[in-house]
A and B are shown apart, each in its own frame.
Chain A
Amino acid sequence: MSLYLLRRLLQAALVMLAMSVIVFVGVYAIGDPVEILISPDADQMERERAIKALGLDLPLWMQYLSFLGNALRGDLGRSFVFNEPALQLILQRMPATLELAFGATIMALIIGIPLGLYAGLKPKSFGAKCIMTGSILGFSLPTFWVGLMLIMVFAVQLGWLPSTGRGETVDVMGMRWSFLTWDGLRHLAMPALNLALFKISLVIRLTRAGVRETMLMDFVKFARAKGLTNRRVISVHVFKNIMIPVVTVVGLELGSTIAFSVVTESVFAWPGMGKLIIDSINVLDRPVIVAYLMIIVLMFITINLLVDLSYSALDPRVRLENK
């Protein structure tokens, strides 16, 4: 087990290294931040001073090496715009995005699994057909449009929920969280639902497919032949088997939600990382972009590892044993 973890960590380090090269070169290729950051009225002297101060006068490979050296010490550079450490800037926004992503994922599971179970167990019923049609809508309606419609209905017309911001927040461990207050929850509800819609559809379809496949297995029939109640057969025998694909996909989805909740954050003016990265790309704030992408890579690696570890909890056949 520890050997396995060690190997995984080594792999992770290599992936991070490779990604840092790609990201660094990629961001360099996008454009020259000098043109945007320095006022057009500045004279040659001022320009050169600024370029030197930002470290942009060095050749690319030297810039990269100094970035790498700093990164190993936990310093991902300073934002050109805010003149704050990029890492700190991102971490300040992180709780907002995290609670949005987790809220959406929890919603997807709480709503998606029961609906998927129902659709899988009674595939011919009217309800199941409605659920499946609804899930097609969930897949195909564009997020920004659904977001706008939610605001129209629940904020503008009905006035039930606030349309922008995080609302009241509470400080826990130096970070601001809004899911701990009623006002914060009210602010969280709509953006989370908006973000969850696609995932709900995904979970419904996965669960339904899994249920329909598993119900035909001999072990389900055998479980019924043992005289177990239907409830037990479904909630233990079937459920444990369908959780494997659901956990895989939802786990990976969690990563992409955290990384790319940009649209929802923009629509609901949710002050998360997604909004920060869009703003940073607009002004070519290289250190923030690079730091953000590195954090996202790290997060994907971590989530992948957690998903792999959760397999061994769910499926004894892939359990990692020290033999």
Chain B
Amino acid sequence: MTSAPTPTAATVATTAVVKPSPRGRRRPPKGAPADRLTGARWWRTLSWRYLVGVVACIYAVIPILYIVSASLNPIGSVASTDLIPTVVSFANFEQLWNNPSRPFFRWALNTVVVALVVVVVQLIFSCFAAYAFSRFRFRGRRAGLLSLLLILMFPQILVTVALFQMFSIVGEVLPAFGLDTLPGYILIMLGGSLGQVYLIKGFFDTVPIELDEAAKIDGASHLQVFFRILLPLLQSILVISGLLVFVGVIGEFLLASIFLRSTDVKTIAVGMQGVLAADQSNNLGWFAAGSVVIAVPIILLFQYLQRYIVGGITAGAVKG
């Protein structure tokens, strides 16, 4: 994370990519007298900022605190759950393992498989298309970009009904890809494979074309230029958009609730929703424990990549 790269064309291009650079702003240089505030002046200018910040943090954290508290509450019911846990027990977490009618880890595995496939395919296909739009000049390019922009405005959930009809027929021909199968669900989610084209194309455009040309003079093919020159430069934005797509797929509910009905093929969103909806009051502990297991890794990832996420979403990456 902290290597200090020499400034080359490549790094110059990538620095242009992520806008805000909080590093350096975080700690103002020592000895700048204008920034040193003391006593009453400090109180007047900064105290309210801290106050607003703390109130906002409490607001942001209360529901999360509640989830954690509910997950540790051995009774696991709504009525017995407070914001601050009084008894700490891991019974709810044990329940995640040994309740075959709610195979939490099976659902989690399904979700991770779906999310990984969707993320990888979407990023690869988007990179390919962005490369074509950024580096080639061909007839229909502008029209293609425009229609892509337009089509992607229509979320897939608008065509759920038609997809349902379509996949009931697909299931007759290819049972492995029909309704109520994970491969079928993955295929549907791949309909959005070009979702990141705009973002990535923008980044390709910032990489000087001279770089490609130099490589081509050295004998690289267009495929090699893509894989060896351009793709490595994209890493930061690929990580961010990959993460946001990943979290988006984990949270996808509508399509999964229609297409995945059997216990074994459910994703975490549909499975957990089903459990909580079945007994809103008494299954809260189980649901909360599951939520903690899912949310903690994602929160940690977000914390770790915090600064890049700010840059990524400012550039237009979208969660889900």
User: Do these two chains interact?
Assistant: no
Point out residues on A near B: beta carbons under 8 Å: none
